[in-house]
Amino acid sequence: MSAPSVNYKKPHGIKMNIGEKKPSRGRPKTFDRDHVVSVAMQAYWQDGQAAVSLNSVCQRAGVSKPSLYKEFGSEDGLKQAVLVDYHQMTMAPLYELLAVDQPFETALEALTTYILRDHQEYGMPNGCLFVDLCQCRAQLGELTGGQVDELRELSIGTYAKWIDRAKVNGQFKLAIPTQTAALYIEAQIACIMNMQRHGAAANEANAVFRLALSVFE
């Protein structure tokens, strides 16, 4: 049975592969929050959040540090705003797929297709910013760290609800506790995102991920 098509959509205000704005002289322009969040997301996602300084974000976005602090309160506040938009862009569509009333095997194939999509085709860097932030959770500020915890709970909860629904429908017959299965899916997605970030060939990543999820077939 073929998986339903996935409508990859970018959220309001997100523009990938955008150029850097140069600070203009003369009368100051209104602070463009969406532009700054988009630039910061691109930088954190592509280079790793730990490698991108606030000065670098300001330079790339063409804004001053005082104006950025005024809008976001802190670098931590900026990262939290980036993560919220990132969630809407890349994670929410997956959760919508798993919420659809469809056979478990169809949803599993849809999940696989979504995770293994060609990021460059959609103008996105390889890897997953959320996975990166989860892996350096201890180094994050209070706002971003709290957001990571909230979204990770949502993520695991979404997988758990999907699996529980499949069990009720008699489509998931493995003797695996729901929470264990949900954590396993989360771990395999993180693994494949790391492979993609480090330049693994698409066919290799595809084979590894499909092998990992074959336990549910």
What single string gives the DSSP state of each residue in 130-179? HHHHHHTGGGS-HHHHHHHHHHHHHHHHHHHHHHHHHHHTT---S---HH
Q: What is the pLDDT of residue 29?
A: 62
Contact between residue 105 and residue 166 where contact means Cβ atoms under 8 Å apart:
no
> For the packed helices 54-61 and 75-86, what is the interaxial angle rounded to 10 degrees?
60
Average pLDDT over residues 135-155: 96
Q: List, for residues 43-62, the tens digit of each pLDDT value.
A: 999 999 999 999 999 999 99
Contact between residue 6 and residue 93 where contact means Cβ atoms under 8 Å apart:
yes
Q: What is the pLDDT of residue 83?
A: 97
Average pLDDT over residues 7-22: 38
Contact between residue 91 and residue 151 where contact means Cβ atoms under 8 Å apart:
yes
Alpha-carbon distance of 19 to 101, in angstroms, equals 41
Q: What is the pLDDT of residue 148?
A: 97
Q: What is the pLDDT of residue 1?
A: 39
Average pLDDT over residues 1-25: 39
| Higher pLDDT, residue 185 or 26 | 185
First to last CA, the chain: 13
Average pLDDT over residues 6-17: 38
Q: What is the pLDDT of residue 121?
A: 76
Domains of the chain: 33-216 (1.10.357.10)
Look at the chain and count its residues. 217
Average pLDDT over residues 80-105: 94
pTM of the model: 0.83
Q: What is the pLDDT of residue 178?
A: 97
Give exposure, 72-87, as e/b (b: 16+ Cβ within 10 Å).
beebbbbbbbbbebbb
Q: List, for residues 16-30, the tens digit of each pLDDT value.
A: 433 344 444 443 468
9 pLDDT above the threshold of 60: no
In the DSSP assignment, the letter for residue 2 is P
Alpha-carbon distance of 63 to 73, in angstroms, equals 15
138 pLDDT above the threshold of 50: yes
